[in-house]
Structure 1
Amino acid sequence: MAISYTPMLEQYREVKSRHTNEILFFRLGDFYEMFFEDAEIASREMEITLTSRDGGQNTRVPMCGVPYHAADNYIAKLINKGYKVAICEQVEDPKQAKGIVRREVVKIITPGTILAESLLPDKANNYLALLHEEADELCLAAADISTGECVWATFSGSSRANTVCDQLYRLLPAELVLAGKLGDLPTINSFLAQRVSTCTITTLSNADLTLVSELPSKHFVQQELPSSTVAQAAVGYLLYYLHYTLKSDLSHINKLARVNTQDYLILDASTLRNLEITRNMRDGGRKDTLLAVLDFTKTAMGGRLLKKWLEFPLLNPLTISKRQDAIADLLDKRAVRESLKELLNNIYDFERILTRIEVGSANARDLTALKTSLAVLPEIKIRLQECHAEQLAGISIEARTHVDVANMIETAIADNPPLGVRDGGIIRTGYDLELDELRSIARDSKEWIQDLELRERETTGIKSLKIGYNKVFGYYIEVTHANTGAVPPNYVRKQTLVNAERYITPELKDFETKVLGAQEKIINIEYQLFVVIRDYIKERISEIQQTARQIAQLDVIISLSEAAARYNYIRPNLNHSRELIIKDGRHPVVERLLSGEMFVPNDTELNHRDSEIMIITGPNMAGKSTYMRQVALLTIMAQIGSFIPAREASICPIDRIFTRVGASDDLATGQSTFMVEMTEAAQIIKFATTNSLIILDEIGRGTSTFDGMSIARSVVEYIKDKVKAKTLFATHYHELTELAESSKVIKNYSVAVKERGNDIVFLRRIIPGGADKSYGIHVAQLAGLPKRIIERAQQILHELEQCKANSDLIPPTTKQQNNKHTALATVSLFSSSIADELLNIDVMTLTPLEALNTLYRLQNKAREESGML
Structure 2
Amino acid sequence: MATNYTPMLEQYREVKSKLSNEILFFRLGDFYEMFFEDAELASRELEITLTSREGGNNKRVPMCGIPYHAADNYIAKLINKGYKVAICEQVEDPKQAKGIVRREVVKIITPGTILSESCLPDKANNYLALLYEEDDELCLAATDISTGECLWAIFLGSSRTNTVCDQLYRLLPAELVLVGKLDGITAITSFVSQRVSTCAVTTLSNADLTVAAELPHNHFTEEELPTNPAAQAAVSYLLYYLHYNLKSHLSHLNKLTRINTQEYLVLDASTLRNLEITRNMRDGGRKDTLLSVMDFTKTAMGSRLLKKWLEFPLLNPITIAKRQDAIADLLDKRVVREPLKELLGNIYDFERILTRIEVGSANARDLTALKTSLSVLPEIKLTLQECQSQLLTDIGMAIKTHVDVTNMIDTAIADNPPFTIREGGIIRTGYDLELDELRSIARDSKQWIHDLELRERETTGIKSLKIGYNKVFGYYIEITHANSAAVPPNYVRKQTLVNAERYITPELKEFETKVLGAQEKIVNIEYQLFSVIRDYIKERIGEIQQTALHIAQLDVIISLSEAAARFNYVRPKLNQTRDIIIKDGRHPVVERLLHGEMFVPNDTELNHRDSEILIITGPNMAGKSTYMRQVALLTIMTQMGSFIPVREASICPVDRIFTRVGASDDLATGQSTFMVEMTETAQIVKYATANSLIILDEIGRGTSTFDGMSIARAVVEYIKDKVKAKTLFATHYHELTELADTSKVIKNYSVAVKERGNEIVFLRRIIPGGADKSYGIHVAQLAGLPKRIIEKAQQTLHELEQGKLPAIPMPLPTNEQCNEHAAVTTVSLFSSCIADELLALDIMTLTPLEALNILYRLQTQAREENGSL
Question: Which TM-score band applies after superposition, normalised by the shorter structure?
Answer: over 0.9
Q: Distance in 2 between matches of 1:743 and 1:452?
A: 107
For the Cα contact (< 8 Å) 1:79–1:111, is it kept in 2?
yes
Task: Provide the residue aligned with 1:534 in structure 2.
Answer: 534
Counterpart amino acid of residue 683 in structure 2: Q
How far has the Cα of 1:571 moved from its partner?
A: 0.2
Q: Does the 8 Å contact 1:414/1:425 carry over to 2? A: yes
Post-superposition offset of 1:815: 6.5
Say whether the 8 Å CA contact 2:807–2:826 is kept in structure 1.
Answer: no
Mapped to 1, the partners of 2:827 and 2:657 lie a distance apart of: 45
Shift of 1:216: 1.2
Offset, 1:341: 0.5
Say if 1:347 and 1:692 are closer, same or farther in 2 by CA, change over 3 A.
same
Which residue in 2 is equivalent to 1:818?
A: 823
1:804: Cα distance to partner? 7.2
Give the aligned residue type for 2:327: I
Instruction: Note the C-alpha offset of 1:4.
Output: 1.1
CA distance in 2, matches of 1:492, 1:562: 77
In the TM superposition, residue 656 of structure 1 has moved relative to its aligned partner by 0.4
Match of 2:231 in 1: 231
Matched, 1:684 2:684: yes
- In structure 1, what is the Cα distance between the partners aligned to 2:348 and 2:427? 21
Conserved 8 A contact 1:674-1:844: no
Residues 588-620 of structure 1: per-residue CA shift (max 9 Å, x gap): 000000001000000000011111111000000
Q: Over residues 124-175 of structure 1, what are the superposed CA-to-partner deviations in whole Å (9 max), with x where a residue is unaligned?
A: 0000000001111110100000000010111111111100100000000010
Secondary structure of the equivalent of 2:476?
Answer: strand
Partner of 2:661: 661
CA-CA distance at 1:785 after TM superposition? 0.3
- 2:195 is matched with 195
Kept in 1: contact 2:209–2:233 (CA 8 A): no
Matches within 5 A, 1:418-817: 418-803=418-803, 816-817=821-822
CA distance in 1 between partners of 2:260 and 2:44 (Å):
46
Alpha carbons 2:612, 2:727 under 8 Å: kept: yes
Query: What amino acid sits opposite 1:659 in the alignment?
Result: T
Deviation at 1:96, TM superposition (A): 1.0
Structure 2 residue identity aligned to 1:181: K
Shift of 1:498: 2.1
1:807 shift after superposition: 9.0
Counterpart amino acid of 1:790?
I
Deviations 1:346-375 (A, max 9, x none): 000000000000000000000000000000
Residue type matched to 2:366 in 1? D
| Aligned 1:29-428 pairs, distance under 5 A | 29-428=29-428
Question: What amino acid is aligned across from residue 26 of structure 2 in structure 1?
Answer: F
Q: In the alignment, is the contact (CA less than 8 A) between 1:326 and 1:389 conserved in 2?
A: yes
Contact 1:675 1:844 in 2 (8 A): no
* Structure-2 change in CA distance of 1:821 and 1:549 (3 Å): closer
Inter-partner Cα distance in structure 2 for 1:134 and 1:629: 39
- Secondary structure of 2:26's aligned partner: strand
Q: Write the deviation string for residues 437-476 of structure 1: whole angstroms up to 9, x where unpaired.
A: 0000000001111111111111111111111111111111
Answer whether contact 2:682 2:849 (CA < 8 A) is retained: no
Instruction: Output one character per residue of 1:173-222: Cα deviation in whole Å (capped at 9) or x when no partner.
Output: 01000111111001101111110011111000111222211111111101
Counterparts of 1:594 and 1:573 in 2: how far apart (Å)? Answer: 28
**SS of structure 2 residue aligned to 1:222:** coil
Paired residue total: 839
Distance 1:659 1:815 in 2: 44
User: 2-side partners of 1:393 and 1:5: how far apart?
Assistant: 68
Distance 1:495 1:663 in 2: 82
Deviations 1:379-434 (A, max 9, x none): 00000000001000111111100000000000000001111110110000000010
Tell me the SS of whatever aligns to 1:478: strand
Following the alignment from structure 1 to structure 2, what is the Cα–Cα distance between the partners of residues 762 and 405?
Answer: 62
* TM-superposed deviation, 1:821: 13
SS of residue paired to 1:223:
coil
Match of 1:225, as an amino acid? L
Distance 2:121 2:175 in 1: 15
Cα distance in 2 for partners of 1:806, 1:486 equals 123
In structure 2, C-alpha distance between the alignment counterparts of 1:464 and 1:642, rounded to whole Å: 80
Superposition deviation, residue 752 in structure 1 = 0.2
What SS does structure 1 have at the residue aligned with 2:439?
helix
Distance in 2 separating the partners of 1:434 and 1:638: 61
- For 2:231, give the aligned amino acid: A
In 1, Cα distance between the equivalents of 2:209 and 2:626? Answer: 53
Structure 2 SS opposite 1:188: helix
- After superposition, what is the alpha-carbon deviation per residue over 1:558-600, rounded to whole angstroms, capped at 9, x for unaligned? 0000000000000000011111000000000000000010000
Amino acid of the residue matched to residue 600 of structure 1? V
Return the offset for 1:112. Answer: 0.4
Amino acid aligned to 1:511? F
How far off its partner does 1:822 sit? 9.1
Query: 2:800·2:806 contact (CA, 8 Å) conserved in 1?
Result: no
How far, CA to CA, are the matches of 1:354 and 1:187 in structure 2? 37
SS at match of 1:668: helix
* Conserved 8 A contact 1:296-1:560: yes
Query: Identity of counterpart residues, as a percentage?
Result: 83
Cα deviation for residue 226 of structure 1 reads 0.7
Aligned-pair CA distance for 1:665: 2.0
Tell which deviates more after alignment, 458-467 or 9-18.
458-467
Per-residue Cα deviation, 1:287-310 (whole angstroms, up to 9, x for no partner):
000000000000000000000000
Give 1:722 shift. Answer: 1.3
SS at match of 2:5: coil
Quickly say closer, same or farther: Cα 1:544–1:804, change in 2 above 3 A.
farther
Q: Which residue matches 1:835?
A: none
